[in-house]
Structure 1
Amino acid sequence: MRFPVSRRKVVYLILIAVLLVILLLQQFLGRSVQPNIPQIEADVSAMTIADGERTIEIRKSGDEWLIGSENYPGDADKIENLAGKIARLQPLEQVSRSGYFRPYRLDDNEAITVTVYSGTEKLRSVLIGKAGTTGRQSYIRFPGRNEILLVSGNLRRDFEVSVGNLREKQLFTLDPASVRRLVLAKTGEEPGGFIRTSEGWTSDDGGPANAERLDEYVRNYASFSVQDFPEDAMDTGELIMQVILETDGGEISVEILTETEEGPYLARSSTTPYIFSLAAYKANQLIQSPAEFLSENQ
Structure 2
Amino acid sequence: MMHLPVRKTVLLAAILVLALVYVLQLSLGRPAGIREFVLETAPDTIEITGGQAGTVRLVLDGDRWVLNDERYPADAAAVQSMVSAITTVRAPGRVSGNPERGDFGFDSPLTITAFASGKKLRTLHAGKVSANALQTYCRIDGSDDVYLVSGNLRNSFDRTVESLREKTVYALDSAGIERAVFNTPDGAADWVLERSGNPPVWNFAGSTDIPDAEKTAAWIRSVASLRVQEYASVDTVLPDAPQGILSLTAGGKTVTVTVHEKDEETGMYLCTSSELPYTFRVSSYTGDRLVRNRESFLK
TM range (shorter): 0.7 to 0.9
What is the aligned partner in structure 2 of residue 206 from structure 1? 207
The percent of aligned pairs where both chains have the same amino acid is 27
TM-score (norm 1): 0.76
What is the aligned partner in structure 1 of residue 223 from structure 2? 221
Structure 1 residues 91 and 65, CA, compared in 2 at 3 Å: closer, same or farther? same
What is the aligned partner in structure 2 of residue 236 from structure 1? 238
- Contact persistence 1:114–1:125 (CA under 8 A): yes
Deviations 1:194-232 (A, max 9, x none): 232326222232313313322221222333322333554
Are 1:50 and 2:49 matched, yes or no? yes
In structure 2, C-alpha distance between the alignment counterparts of 1:127 and 1:261, rounded to whole Å: 42
Deviations 1:17-53 (A, max 9, x none): xxxxxxxxxxxxxxxxx67442113222221111266
The 5 Å alignment of 1:189-200 reads 190-198=189-197, 200=201
- Residue among 239, 257, 275 paired with 1:271: 275
- Contact persistence 1:182–1:243 (CA under 8 A): yes
Q: Shift in Å at residue 272 of structure 1?
A: 0.7
Structure 1 residues 249 and 271, CA, compared in 2 at 3 Å: closer, same or farther? same
What is the aligned partner in structure 2 of residue 287 from structure 1? 291
Deviations 1:55-103 (A, max 9, x none): 2111212322222222222222221111111111111223333342783
The 5 Å alignment of 1:144-155 reads 144-155=142-153
Aligned-partner SS, 1:206:
coil
- Contact persistence 1:217–1:286 (CA under 8 A): no
In structure 1, C-alpha distance between the alignment counterparts of 2:86 and 2:148, rounded to whole Å: 14
Deviations 1:93-144 (A, max 9, x none): 233333427833212xx22111112222211011112211111111112354
What is the aligned partner in structure 1 of residue 3 from structure 2? none
Structure 1 residues 48 and 135, CA, compared in 2 at 3 Å: closer, same or farther? same
Structure 1 residues 200 and 259, CA, compared in 2 at 3 Å: closer, same or farther? same
Which stretch shifts more, 221-230 or 231-240? 231-240
When the two structures are aligned, how many residues end up with a matched partner?
A: 261
Structure 1 residues 214 and 102, CA, compared in 2 at 3 Å: closer, same or farther? farther
- Contact persistence 1:186–1:241 (CA under 8 A): yes
What is the aligned partner in structure 1 of residue 177 from structure 2? 179
Aligned-partner SS, 1:38:
strand
What is the aligned partner in structure 2 of residue 61 from structure 1? 61
In structure 2, C-alpha distance between the alignment counterparts of 1:261 and 1:208, rounded to whole Å: 36
Structure 1 residues 196 and 203, CA, compared in 2 at 3 Å: closer, same or farther? same
Q: Shift in Å at residue 181 of structure 1?
A: 2.8
What is the aligned partner in structure 2 of residue 83 from structure 1? 83
In structure 2, C-alpha distance between the alignment counterparts of 1:85 and 1:247, rounded to whole Å: 38
CA-based RMSD: 2.9
In structure 2, C-alpha distance between the alignment counterparts of 1:101 and 1:191, rounded to whole Å: 70
- Contact persistence 1:184–1:290 (CA under 8 A): no
The 5 Å alignment of 1:5-154 reads 36-51=35-50, 54-100=54-100, 103-107=103-107, 110-142=108-140, 144-154=142-152
Which stretch shifts more, 229-238 or 47-56? 229-238
In structure 2, C-alpha distance between the alignment counterparts of 1:141 and 1:284, rounded to whole Å: 50
The residue identity in structure 2 corresponding to 1:142 is I
What is the aligned partner in structure 2 of residue 252 from structure 1? 255
Which stretch shifts more, 87-96 or 266-275? 87-96
In structure 1, C-alpha distance between the alignment counterparts of 2:264 and 2:158, rounded to whole Å: 24
Aligned-partner SS, 1:126:
strand
Aligned-partner SS, 1:207:
coil
